Amino acid sequence: MIRVHSDSKHTKISFERDTVSANHSSTEEKCKDMNIDHLRSNGHSVHVERQPKRVDYPRLLALGRELLLAIGEDPEREGLRETPRRWADAWREFIEYDPGTTETTFSSVASDQLVCVSGMRVSSLCEHHLLPFWCDVSIGYIPNEKVLGLSKFARIAQQFAHRLQLQERLGQQIADEITRITGTQNVAVVLKGEHYCMTARGIRMPGRMTSSVLRGVFRTESQTRMEFLRLIE
Ligand SMILES: [Zn+2]
């Protein structure tokens, strides 16, 4: 579900949880996309990580079995026989996630509007512990000539969440991508996340981590920054 709030100066769009599902295209289409990405990266900032990765599936299967053995389990016992396959499938689904088209833009009708998209929740994996974390993502931007299609914010957030991550880097990559596609430097991204490496191990304390990337007028103009922060409350 998408909620849109609009007055004369501001547009606020909220997603209810999980509006985007994986959209698997054929291998051929994927390779085509990868080529395009590669060509587009020439002469611009380098976005090598935009290309979808592939897993070594047989190796994952063997690793899943090995993991069970390493923790003292019997991979042949009832209940665990299919676990290496399920585990390998989960990794493949996570790593080979295809966000679909993320670059649909439209001509801007009013270039002074603050557009805010919030309520998007993504799941990712902490690269330090290989444990999950989830983040609520809020994105604000002030378009120049190009506005981004509505669903693209969620696709972009999902695209960068589907890899080994750090919350801080996830926010930066989302902001970079919005600038790359729309050309505007006025971008703000706020992430609020819960990390299992904190809640389920180590200190074992529930808590939220908030990180923000504020660029352009969101950095230099306190009024715009406050307006954005108010809209994502
Ligand atoms: Zn961690």
Write down the domain spans for the chain. 1-51, 57-95, 105-231
Query: Does 16 participate in catalysis according to the annotation?
Result: no
Instruction: Give the mean pLDDT of 169-197.
Output: 96
Query: Does 126 participate in catalysis according to the annotation?
Result: yes
Query: What is the C-alpha to C-alpha distance for residues 163 and 185, in angstroms, rounded to an integer?
Result: 25
**Which is higher by pLDDT, 173 or 39?**
173
pTM across the whole model:
0.78
**Which is higher by pLDDT, 221 or 146?**
221
Catalytic residue among 47, 73, 185, 197: 197
Catalytic residue among 126, 135, 162, 173: 126
**Res. 24 pLDDT band, cuts 50 70 90:** very low
Fold of 57-95: GTP Cyclohydrolase I; Chain A, domain 1 (1.10.286)
**Res. 26 pLDDT band, cuts 50 70 90:** very low
**Which is higher by pLDDT, 164 or 2?**
164
Indicate if the pLDDT at residue 206 is higher than 50. yes
The token pair at 39 is 């060509």
CA of 131 to the centre of ligand 1 (A): 6
Fold of 105-231: GTP Cyclohydrolase I, domain 2 (3.30.1130)
The reported pLDDT for the residue numbered 186 is 97
**Which is higher by pLDDT, 146 or 61?**
61
Question: Using an 8 Å Cβ cutoff, are 185 and 48 in contact?
Answer: no
Please report where in the chains the tokens 């998209």 appear, as a residue. Answer: 117
The reported pLDDT for the residue numbered 50 is 62
Query: What is the C-alpha to C-alpha distance for residues 155 and 213, in angstroms, rounded to an integer?
Result: 18
Instruction: Give the mean pLDDT of 167-173.
Output: 98
Beta partners for 194?
134
Helix, strand, coil shares of the chain, percent, nearest 5, are 40, 25, 35
Query: pLDDT tens digit string along 80-132?
Result: 999 999 999 999 999 999 988 888 888 877 667 899 999 999 999 999 999 99
Query: What is the C-alpha to C-alpha distance for residues 157 and 105, in angstroms, rounded to an integer?
Result: 16
Query: Does 31 participate in catalysis according to the annotation?
Result: no
Q: What is the distance, to the nearest Å, from the Cα of residue 124 to the centroid of all Cα atoms in its chain? A: 8
Indicate if the pLDDT at residue 29 is higher than 70. no
The reported pLDDT for the residue numbered 170 is 98
CA of 200 to the centre of ligand 1 (A): 10
In this structure, the number of other CB atoms found within 10 A of the CB of residue 164 comes to: 13
Indicate if the pLDDT at residue 27 is higher than 90. no
Question: Using an 8 Å Cβ cutoff, are 118 and 231 in contact?
Answer: yes
Share of the chain above pLDDT 70, in %: 77
Query: Does 197 participate in catalysis according to the annotation?
Result: yes
The reported pLDDT for the residue numbered 23 is 40
Instruction: Give the mean pLDDT of 21-35.
Output: 41
The DSSP bridge pattern shows strands 10-15 and 132-141 to be unpaired
Query: Does 158 participate in catalysis according to the annotation?
Result: no
Catalytic residue among 129, 172, 194, 227: 129
In this structure, the number of other CB atoms found within 10 A of the CB of residue 105 comes to: 15
26, 63, 68, 76, 214 from 150: Cα distances, Å: 24, 40, 43, 48, 20
Share of the chain above pLDDT 90, in %: 64
Indicate if the pLDDT at residue 74 is higher than 90. yes
